[in-house]
Structure 1
Amino acid sequence: MAKTPRSRNWIVKIAALSLGIGSVLTVVPSSAQAADLTPAQIDAGLKKFQTASPRASYFMSMEVAPEVTGAVPLKAGMHRLWDMKTAWKDVNPSKGVFDWSVLDMRVAQSEATGARPMLVLGLTPTWAASDPNAGDARWGLGTASPPKDINDWKNYVQAVVSRYGNRIAGYEVWNEANLQTFWTGSYDQLAELTDTAYDIIKSSNSGALVMMASTTTRLVSPAAKFTTGYLEALGRYGNPFDGYTIHTYPAGDIPFDGISTQRMADIKAWQTAVVKAVGPDSPLLDRLIFDTEVNYGLAGPGARPGTDFTDEQGATLLEQTYRDSATLGIDATFWYLYTAAPFDLLGVQMWSGSPVVNAKWNALRAGTSTTSAPSTQPSTGTGSTVSSTTPAPINLQAGRTGTQLRLTWDMPLETFGSTTKTSYNIEERSKFSSGSWGPWDGFANVLEGQSYTEKAPWLDLSGSIFDFRVQAVINGKASDWSTPARIVVTKNVTPPNNVNAIINSSAVVVTWQGSSLDTDLLEGYRIEGRNVSKKTPWKVLATTSNKVPSKRLTREQVGADEFDTVEFRVSTLSTSGKRSRTSPESPRRQCTNELPTPVNVNATYDSSLGWMTMTWAAPDTAMPGGRNVMGYEFSYQWPGATSWTTFGDPVGSNMGSTSAVFDLVNVPKGVLNVRIRSVGWPGQIYSGYSSPLAVVKR
């Protein structure tokens, strides 16, 4: 259907500018669009997705078996806490009751080893499950069910975040949610859990990583289907995640010389599914990828048998795994599993009785591994960052007390021997107010220890941001630079302006004019609402951790019934933890799809100017939907025509709340019929048209 060049132009402007509709959602391509990608586009998307610098401190991570209760002798960037009585069902065994004993112990165990904890948030307690029979009895009935009340999930996540703060470095929303064993809900339900957890975690610990629910890659087609559906659902929530998580277990009976090749093929197939789902140029391809479980030789799928590898073969596979992860842009790879004794489920054992595997792990972390790859050389690309001979500093922290600067950092424990001579270089860059970043400049040298302090008066410059990074020099050889640490000197935090809301019977999109804070100082926004009809107090509905000036909420989240009247207000959150005062309230809106048709419509023609003026009465706010009118749409019927055409823009700025002026210079002489209707949710909700009026152009 052809469109006139200016058709509906002014209502589109209202939707995109006044309401901020264009920035509400990031939508992934449809399956038809994905099917249209050429091989070259897919290759370009894969290159973008696989271009990553593995996180120096997290790249080599692991999971520890629950039977290991003492110190773990192998060092790791992160410990994944899963299947060890630390899940939701274990921590929150009944409504309002929390048992922190095991999780406290596991967090402390990770910290004692020098690792950062990464917690898997699911599974659902039976008391909270919408289907108490969903799941596998090995993990507990109901554990694979979505919760019957999202508030139970909110309370659990908030309790975890409040207790551990920044001691937990990352969260995986759910384990292997592509399998009915662990998840039986819909994509939308999983996306809602992800969005809720993301907002709660980021509001308290903005530096924590919130990763998508994990998927297994062994069965390529089901993994692709799950990933596509989950991403589409997350897009409707604004993509609230920092990265992807996968589990790579190649089939158990693949020969040794081809098994790492199979892992790479499985990962590439999953990455291709992501590229097809989001598009080859999507910024979602710049997000993190964590492989949070990997081992080899596991039996399955189906009746396929498993394989046991020797300690020497295991060491070779271990090294190849991390080389291939670096090639494929995997930011962190978690070895599954350090155990207290041999575990017959696994083909590669890692325990106190696997000296060759353990030595290989230590050598890889220290950057001194020399073992060759398997004979088929499955690895492709330019090699792995784990081969660097001088590891970069990790866990860099920057803080200030007034104008007193303090920097601290760590080095992998395997780095230091009896003959090492270590010093450190420090660089700094800065950004003032809304200006651009300055270059990295040499700042200091540290000859002893792993800390630096200085009196720095410039740290009091309001609205400034300072980044610091550290480089190790060991026996004269320099490492790469550490991940930067940041200090933000926050200026006054002002509230958003022009808070508005568009609404229907089941959902609302709250929009606002964004903060004046520099984007690097802006953490996000807090949205509050209240039910005017029920006279409820103001309550926090959501906290965003992105810069998008809008938030979609369901009617249930708002706490409203159909036809209830609601209103909203928003405050700004800075990266320093400060919150502005709240904005003025939005216009009051009613939870309904009904919308009143304009009344008292009149139209007159001025032959001297060639202009037509239309007037109408403002909607009665007491009528159903009367508070929801966002604008108006006008259409006309040419003299002698039977179809209707939508008017273009009103003349100049002649668009008021109850009048509009249109140019009829190009309309033929004769009787012109005109009509008007109210617009509630552009593209979705309109009133009926007013009765046509005849305007005579002479």
Structure 2
Amino acid sequence: MAKTPRSRNWIVKIAALSLGIGSVLTVVPSSAQAADLTPAQIDAGLKKFQTASPRASYFMSMEVAPEVTGAVPLKAGMHRLWDMKTAWKDVNPSKGVFDWSVLDMRVAQSEATGARPMLVLGLTPTWAASDPNAGDARWGLGTASPPKDINDWKNYVQAVVSRYGNRIAGYEVWNEANLQTFWTGSYDQLAELTDTAYDIIKSSNSGALVMMASTTTRLVSPAAKFTTGYLEALGRYGNPFDGYTIHTYPAGDIPFDGISTQRMADIKAWQTAVVKAVGPDSPLLDRLIFDTEVNYGLAGPGARPGTDFTDEQGATLLEQTYRDSATLGIDATFWYLYTAAPFDLLGVQMWSGSPVVNAKWNALRAGTSTTSAPSTQPSTGTGSTVSSTTPAPINLQAGRTGTQLRLTWDMPLETFGSTTKTSYNIEERSKFSSGSWGPWDGFANVLEGQSYTEKAPWLDLSGSIFDFRVQAVINGKASDWSTPARIVVTKNVTPPNNVNAIINSSAVVVTWQGSSLDTDLLEGYRIEGRNVSKKTPWKVLATTSNKVPSKRLTREQVGADEFDTVEFRVSTLSTSGKRSRTSPESPRRQFTNELPTPVNVNATYDSSLGWMTMTWAAPDTAMPGGRNVMGYEFSYQWPGATSWTTFGDPVGSNMGSTSAVFDLVNVPKGVLNVRIRSVGWPGQIYSGYSSPLAVVKR
């Protein structure tokens, strides 16, 4: 059976069972009953739970970082709105007061990208919290508390639904409610919030998905305990949810080859807990499963370190994630996170500087990606019969002089006799053959003995890698293929381009545009830096053994004090041991969290074009943080509004310039207040805003 969103006639809950309308009053078995399940019953329940749904448009979804303000270049089924000032505490900052500016922008951003918004409803505002000290100060004290009055929650959910209607396609009741960072209430209190939200949302938009509060699967036993308790409480309310939500972050230091296995094991352990909680035949196993956050290499649990992956490794993990999700019946998987700059919390980066990951995402969305490895089986194109009794060639060696190829090999001595008729097949694998083995330039049955030469102009193509293998055919029976031999055509090793640095008072992320070397030829990068303030010479700060075009360094590693000015350069390392010359220096940056506010700001409106032009002075590099300005952020206050909204990207303007143009065609007539602030480390460091300027649109 394909899984579908839950259907519940909420007006007639009590009559549901007698009317036969499904699982409204499904009974969740007790813990004692769950313990009585046999392995066969658990397996049957897992098979039911993992039944793949028809591939919906939201199978590949994502979350977008708050510093990404324009249209997202990667298409997705859904955008999960979380951790970007769109939660209850942000939208409803005081009783009876709603600020829709950010949520309006994020819903519009999703729609502009072609994605459907999925909103996380929690966290609790301090004014509404029954325990104003509950939770983590990073998200705001009181945010993990249940509300002291359920009516405050009802009013908030109703206000959201009334404003957005069917523009919001789905709701996740709470984020990671199994962690006290986000939820300190009881299972019953969480179930009541879920039930209340379900009824309000479905009464206005029956097609919207209402998903349970999410659970992290990283720690198996706590996840199972929370899931069981939450489901038992939801059962007392008639199971008011369309599906389950989980977050799958494997431990940060798992070897690369074991990461996929660990994620699948964590999901299966959680699914087993659900089967034990509801029973192997329960209709609750037909409901949707969303993995609304997944990435790899995050530090933890506990003191376990994290791992940074290359762009190529990230693409491999991305593809395997969605293949594993399909195998385990996950209906939608939300990649965490598309960012504006490298985000050192995550092991796999997805941003404009991750071309391989981005290309893999697009290929998966288009259905053109494949995980099939190049074949290592004998080619069947020669018509020979493979026989395990025919020995394979040994000691294959490959070399070239200019464009002249030479292959030599040996055969075991016992191969030859007076009646043997021996020939050979040669196959080649390179980027010119799409990475698959194929007959070398169409040649087969090479008869010149145990060597082969051929003039091939393409053998001189810089930066190419060619693999060769040989197969013996003795009396019509083909051997296995020999161990491959490789020719590497060395490419001039060039330095990276566009070296930059994103900095705060304690750390810096050096970024660059990666080498043009093929992946197999690229060993890594060497990062050098110098302290301009102390006039120190250039020194090697780090050598990477991966291919990620960025490196995070602490101030101590750089050898600098706060407010010191530094600069960086990078060179490319090849697998052949060659190192490129160094890149041009990065812009000079200063270790500080300070950032100057733009000055000499002006704004004019052109009524004939409907455009507003803002201008300002370039930052004064003598001021603290003046060298750290990466761009600018603009906000506006609509005529008659009291809150400020961040502009999207300006029209035809570079964010590093000293002017920007904005289209005001859709802005109501009246006085529009505008302001600007400098952006340093995106999402972390901003200057204060300039004084508001009034622009009159007539």
TM-score, L = length of structure 2: 0.52
**Percent sequence identity over aligned pairs:** 100
- Secondary structure in structure 2 of the residue aligned to 1:293: strand
- Secondary structure in structure 1 of the residue aligned to 2:22: helix
Cα distance per residue 1:138-176 (max 9 Å; x no partner): 000000000000000000000000000000000000000
Displacement of 1:486 in angstroms is 59
The 10-residue stretch of structure 1 (423-432 or 26-35) with the greater mean CA deviation from structure 2: 423-432
Displacement of 1:280 in angstroms is 0.2
Displacement of 1:329 in angstroms is 0.1
Which position in structure 2 is the counterpart of 1:15? 15
Measured in 2, the distance between the counterparts of 1:208 and 1:398 equals: 62
The 10-residue stretch of structure 1 (18-27 or 555-564) with the greater mean CA deviation from structure 2: 555-564
Displacement of 1:56 in angstroms is 2.2
Distance 1:610 1:533, change over 3 A: same
Measured in 2, the distance between the counterparts of 1:16 and 1:550 equals: 58
Distance 1:11 1:360, change over 3 A: closer
Measured in 2, the distance between the counterparts of 1:19 and 1:619 equals: 71
Structure scoring higher RCO (CA < 8 A, sep ≥ 6) equals: 1
- Secondary structure in structure 1 of the residue aligned to 2:593: coil
Measured in 2, the distance between the counterparts of 1:104 and 1:640 equals: 16
Which position in structure 1 is the counterpart of 2:616? 616
The answer to whether the 8 A contact 2:505-2:593 is kept is yes
The answer to whether the 8 A contact 1:253-1:304 is kept is yes
Distance 1:377 1:237, change over 3 A: farther
Distance 1:174 1:300, change over 3 A: same
Cα distance per residue 1:628-664 (max 9 Å; x no partner): 9999999999999999999999999999999999999
The 10-residue stretch of structure 1 (23-32 or 304-313) with the greater mean CA deviation from structure 2: 23-32
The 10-residue stretch of structure 1 (361-370 or 446-455) with the greater mean CA deviation from structure 2: 446-455
The answer to whether the 8 A contact 1:327-1:379 is kept is no
Distance 1:427 1:510, change over 3 A: same
Measured in 2, the distance between the counterparts of 1:688 and 1:266 equals: 45
- Secondary structure in structure 1 of the residue aligned to 2:16: helix
Displacement of 1:27 in angstroms is 1.7
Displacement of 1:253 in angstroms is 0.2
Report the count of equivalent residues: 698
Measured in 1, the distance between the counterparts of 2:586 and 2:614 equals: 28
Displacement of 1:290 in angstroms is 0.1
The answer to whether the 8 A contact 2:70-2:648 is kept is no
Measured in 2, the distance between the counterparts of 1:341 and 1:656 equals: 15
The answer to whether the 8 A contact 1:46-1:275 is kept is yes
The answer to whether the 8 A contact 2:605-2:613 is kept is yes
Measured in 1, the distance between the counterparts of 2:203 and 2:355 equals: 44
The answer to whether the 8 A contact 1:670-1:696 is kept is yes
Distance 1:104 1:460, change over 3 A: farther
Distance 1:525 1:639, change over 3 A: same
Displacement of 1:55 in angstroms is 3.8
Distance 1:83 1:605, change over 3 A: closer
Distance 1:433 1:673, change over 3 A: farther
The 10-residue stretch of structure 1 (630-639 or 472-481) with the greater mean CA deviation from structure 2: 630-639
User: For structure 2, which runs of at least 5 residues remain unmatched after alignment?
Assistant: none
Cα distance per residue 1:62-115 (max 9 Å; x no partner): 000000001100000000000000000000000000000000000000000000
Measured in 2, the distance between the counterparts of 1:691 and 1:7 equals: 52
The answer to whether the 8 A contact 1:654-1:660 is kept is yes
Displacement of 1:26 in angstroms is 2.2
Cα distance per residue 1:649-689 (max 9 Å; x no partner): 99999999999999999999999999999999999999999
- Secondary structure in structure 2 of the residue aligned to 1:63: strand
Measured in 2, the distance between the counterparts of 1:341 and 1:687 equals: 18
The answer to whether the 8 A contact 1:257-1:375 is kept is no
The 10-residue stretch of structure 1 (317-326 or 459-468) with the greater mean CA deviation from structure 2: 459-468
Distance 1:268 1:154, change over 3 A: same
- Secondary structure in structure 1 of the residue aligned to 2:325: helix
Distance 1:436 1:72, change over 3 A: closer
Measured in 1, the distance between the counterparts of 2:561 and 2:102 equals: 41
Which position in structure 2 is the counterpart of 1:217? 217
Distance 1:667 1:89, change over 3 A: closer
Displacement of 1:291 in angstroms is 0.1
- Secondary structure in structure 2 of the residue aligned to 1:244: strand
The answer to whether the 8 A contact 2:3-2:53 is kept is no
Asked if residue 35 in structure 1 is aligned to residue 35 in structure 2, the reply is yes
Which position in structure 2 is the counterpart of 1:411? 411
Measured in 2, the distance between the counterparts of 1:73 and 1:600 equals: 33
Cα distance per residue 1:593-634 (max 9 Å; x no partner): 999999999999999999999999999999999999999999
Distance 1:327 1:534, change over 3 A: same
Measured in 1, the distance between the counterparts of 2:541 and 2:186 equals: 23
Measured in 2, the distance between the counterparts of 1:469 and 1:564 equals: 57
Distance 1:110 1:610, change over 3 A: closer
The answer to whether the 8 A contact 1:56-1:394 is kept is no
The answer to whether the 8 A contact 1:323-1:386 is kept is no
The 10-residue stretch of structure 1 (14-23 or 668-677) with the greater mean CA deviation from structure 2: 668-677
Measured in 1, the distance between the counterparts of 2:314 and 2:206 equals: 38
The 10-residue stretch of structure 1 (12-21 or 589-598) with the greater mean CA deviation from structure 2: 589-598
The answer to whether the 8 A contact 1:365-1:414 is kept is no
The answer to whether the 8 A contact 1:432-1:463 is kept is no
The answer to whether the 8 A contact 1:493-1:578 is kept is yes
The answer to whether the 8 A contact 2:403-2:456 is kept is yes
TM-score, L = length of structure 1: 0.52
The answer to whether the 8 A contact 2:146-2:189 is kept is yes
Measured in 1, the distance between the counterparts of 2:89 and 2:314 equals: 34
Q: Residues 498-509 of structure 1 correspond to what in structure 2 (within 5 A)? A: none
Measured in 2, the distance between the counterparts of 1:30 and 1:610 equals: 66
Cα distance per residue 1:464-490 (max 9 Å; x no partner): 999999999999999999999999999
Asked if residue 93 in structure 1 is aligned to residue 119 in structure 2, the reply is no
User: For structure 1, which runs of at least 5 residues remain unmatched after alignment?
Assistant: none
Displacement of 1:53 in angstroms is 1.7
Report the RMSD for the aligned CA atoms in angstroms.
25.9
Distance 1:679 1:260, change over 3 A: closer
Displacement of 1:52 in angstroms is 2.0
Displacement of 1:226 in angstroms is 0.2
The 10-residue stretch of structure 1 (217-226 or 396-405) with the greater mean CA deviation from structure 2: 396-405
Displacement of 1:348 in angstroms is 0.2
Distance 1:695 1:64, change over 3 A: closer
The 10-residue stretch of structure 1 (551-560 or 115-124) with the greater mean CA deviation from structure 2: 551-560
- Secondary structure in structure 2 of the residue aligned to 1:685: coil
Distance 1:497 1:440, change over 3 A: same
Cα distance per residue 1:401-434 (max 9 Å; x no partner): 9999999999999999999999999999999999
Cα distance per residue 1:247-285 (max 9 Å; x no partner): 000000001110011000000000000000000000000
The 10-residue stretch of structure 1 (1-10 or 21-30) with the greater mean CA deviation from structure 2: 1-10
- Secondary structure in structure 1 of the residue aligned to 2:298: coil
Measured in 2, the distance between the counterparts of 1:622 and 1:371 equals: 53
Q: Which runs of 4+ in 1 moved over 3 A?
A: 1-25, 371-698
- Secondary structure in structure 2 of the residue aligned to 1:633: strand
Displacement of 1:310 in angstroms is 0.2
Measured in 2, the distance between the counterparts of 1:335 and 1:648 equals: 23
